Chains A and B, each alone.
Chain A
């Protein structure tokens, strides 16, 4: 099995879907001859033609609107945001047109909105955001955040085949930093299913995307101290895999929820509420949140490092929680 980076895995997934299904096409800024800012669609235009690898004006609302319109005719558009930070420009299209279409008038919208998100690359406040919570709070959307090359390929294929609008957050820190064996050819990873990234007994870290790797690193360090961490990789943040969340709480009885985006109104609050509703009696300690600060993501490396959750934060909080 070939070793693929996270970025190559996504590329391969989209490529295979375009080979398999003539209704799949890509649109976005600079995705054609240039191949996209991160080269996800590099070489696609030569293979699939300018009709199916469509360069658009710099107009995010038009990109989403056009993707939605095309999906109404039975196409499966894959729209790229050059950075997920720019998804805010298309917010009304996503929130009021796309997300509500099936509930209000029975219109399925099989489209994917994908692009790079996340920090740790000194991208500054407009190239480092994790805006997934804007959409988790929008019923009708699926929100997918893969952490590994295997999942990235399986989930992008599942997203393209899904009959619902899927927002696919790629973590740009992971693009070329991680590699693993990824099977060539067809497989999908189901949307809405979490994965236990590491079995453990003492406490659970619930997280997703780049921070899965931070949690695993922390687990290795803590193992030397006799603290056995379980790491739950959510993979999909809407809809959440409530069963998997409850299961890990019932197993370890102590929970850290870890995410990059701002703490207030973040996913950790929602997960804490789910645990409260479904596994309160199983808790042996307070639910701990480790999250980004309630500010924009600052640019300068020392500031960004301070803003974002670190391995040392996880180690420190795990020690405290273990001792509780």
Chain B
């Protein structure tokens, strides 16, 4: 691991001179051929930890190498966040974690249907990213972004009722977890379990808004595992070609279920993929809410200016198994120790209490208690809400007459028409 100066890393790719040394006059000059790509890196530390499969006697296990005893760097001061905003993000992160802790308890009490998915260790990425969105922007969370939902105005009870498959859940029991949406107030597309599909969908949302005269930001997330899918490429490429305001967080949390990122991709950093799409790529420490916010804010501003998509890689570690059933015994213990010291909430708390002195111990205690009380109220409401009637499985397959009014969300598109009238085509027949 090494400390990086403010100027950040700038990988440079240089074209090579032809092997025979000739320089035909038509070939651009050396200077023109030189390609320089900048990948802004907001991190205060760059860890060089790698995981690989090794045989130990009769067993094959994951082995970690790298400096696991490096000191934890301070948070990077945000260029944009005020004291009040930092505290607001911190509060969302605390609520995110307390909600998931409550869900863990509900699971152990047998009240959850299916499993529970956690964003432990990723709260800064979920909360600070969504906090950068404006009201008219859209987002779609993935399974571990339950904090994003809180930031966008959903209540903890919404997610809790989803997990308990209650009649009052946003999907009325039809789906669980963070799989719900809202087209009207919070502009959220419901995620599905298949990975990467939200990327073209969110790009389409931005396309729809642009046809209505608005450049909006559309934020979604993908993991280091999920980004392996083909639809991820299709979606980012579509947004790139059409210059749509996609803000894509690649949450590099080191483990895709049980598979380490070393077995998902060959690049050093997934942000490098941005070069291939011809769009800006940024690297942030996913456990530093200030860095996450700043990168998200800049990407959102770019989107609002109509300047196109941004890919942000947030580095962190998933601090639990894939879901509650998974003890993550395959993860080398030393990795948990390393990342535990980089807990996003503890880091933010320390920053607010000690570095900036923006919160007193008493204020922090009051904040934590208030969130605890709120989660308790939400939990009570969720637990006491009824299960759906069996026959409520019926209906709603189609949008029937009068069920929804379809209208352009940002205003009727202004159309510019050419003067050509409809004429019959005399085209060649493709297949005879």
Contact = CB atoms under 8 A, between A and B. Distances in A.
Contact of A74 (B237, B399, B407, B417): B407
A86 interface: no
Given A59-B237, A62-B238, A73 B429 contact: no
A72 B404 CA distance: 12
Interface string B230-241: 110011011001
Interface in A58-106: 59, 61-77, 92-93, 96-97, 100-106
B396 A25 contact: no
Nearest to A142: B398
Nearest to B236: A62
A8 B424 contact: yes
Contact of A108 (B170, B406, B408, B425): B406
Given A47-B420, A62-B231, A105-B171, A68 B204 contact: yes
B235 to A, nearest CB: 6
Contacts of A48: 415, 417-418
Contacts of A102: 396-399
A140 B398 contact: yes
Interface in A217-244: 239
Contact of A52 (B189, B200, B415, B430): B415
B429 A176 contact: yes
B112 interface: no
A49 B417 contact: yes
A274 B245 CA distance: 48
Contacts of A67: 204
Contacts of A239: 398
Describe B's contact surface by its main secondary structure: loop
A65 B396 contact: no
A38 B416 CA distance: 25
Contacts of A273: none
Given A69-B200, A69-B203, A42 B407 contact: no
Contact of A75 (B181, B211, B235, B404): B211
A39 B408 contact: no
Contacts of B27: none
Interface stretch (A120-128, A147-155, A197-205): A120-128
Task: Name the residue among B211, B234, B238 with the largest chain A CB count within 10 angstroms.
Answer: B234
Contact of A57 (B190, B241, B403): B241
A147 to B, nearest CB: 19
Interface stretch (B35-43, B191-199, B341-349, B362-370): B191-199
Contact of A110 (B194, B396, B406, B429): B406
B202 interface: yes
Contacts of A108: 399, 403-404, 406
Give chain B's interface residue range (CB within 8 Å of chain A). 35 or more
A23 B412 contact: yes
A133 to B, nearest CB: 18
B264 to A, nearest CB: 19
Interface string A11-28: 110010000001101000
B432 interface: yes
A105 B180 CA distance: 6
Interface string A34-52: 0101110011001111011
B397 A140 contact: yes
Contacts of A75: 208, 211-212, 408, 413
Nearest to B193: A96
A107 interface: yes
Contacts of A56: 238, 241
Nearest to A97: B197
A105 B208 contact: no
A25 B424 CA distance: 20
Given A57-B241, A70-B205, A23 B190 contact: no
B427 interface: yes
A6 to B, nearest CB: 12
A307 interface: no
A169 interface: no
Contact of A96 (B170, B192, B211, B230): B192
A72 B183 contact: yes
A52 B211 contact: yes
Contacts of A65: 197, 199-201, 203-204, 231, 234-235, 238
Give chain A's interface residue range (CB within 8 Å of chain B). 35 or more
Contacts of A66: 200-201, 203-204, 207, 238
A139 interface: yes
Nearest to A192: B398
A73 to B, nearest CB: 3
Contact of A121 (B412, B416, B431): B431
Interface string A138-168: 0110100000000000000000000110000
A107 B431 contact: no
B201 A42 contact: no
Contacts of B89: none
A254 interface: no
B376 interface: no
Nearest to B204: A69
B410 interface: yes
A101 B396 CA distance: 10
A76 B412 CA distance: 12
A69 B171 contact: no
A105 B154 CA distance: 15
A38 B425 CA distance: 10
Given A101-B190, A172-B431, A8 B425 contact: yes
A105 B181 contact: yes
Contacts of A76: 406
Given A46-B420, A93-B197, A121-B432, A70 B204 contact: yes
B197 A175 contact: no
A93 B399 contact: no
A172 B430 CA distance: 9
B404 A163 contact: yes
Nearest to A55: B241
Given A48-B418, A49-B417, A75-B408, A104 B190 contact: yes
A103 B211 CA distance: 27
Given A73-B409, A121-B431, 5 more contacts: A47-B417, A59-B200, A61-B197, A104-B171, A121-B432
Q: Give the 10 A-B residue pairs with the shortest CB-CB distance, closest first.
A: A69-B204, A65-B200, A73-B208, A66-B204, A70-B208, A39-B427, A62-B234, A59-B234, A108-B399, A62-B238
Interface of B: 170-171, 174-175, 179-181, 183, 189-190, 192-194, 197, 199-209, 211-212, 218, 230-231, 234-235, 237-238, 241-242, 396-399, 403-404, 406-410, 412-418, 420-425, 427, 429-432
15 contacts: A37-B430, A39-B425, A47-B420, A52-B211, A68-B204, A69-B189, A69-B200, A70-B205, A73-B212, A96-B197, A105-B170, A105-B180, A105-B190, A108-B403, A163-B406
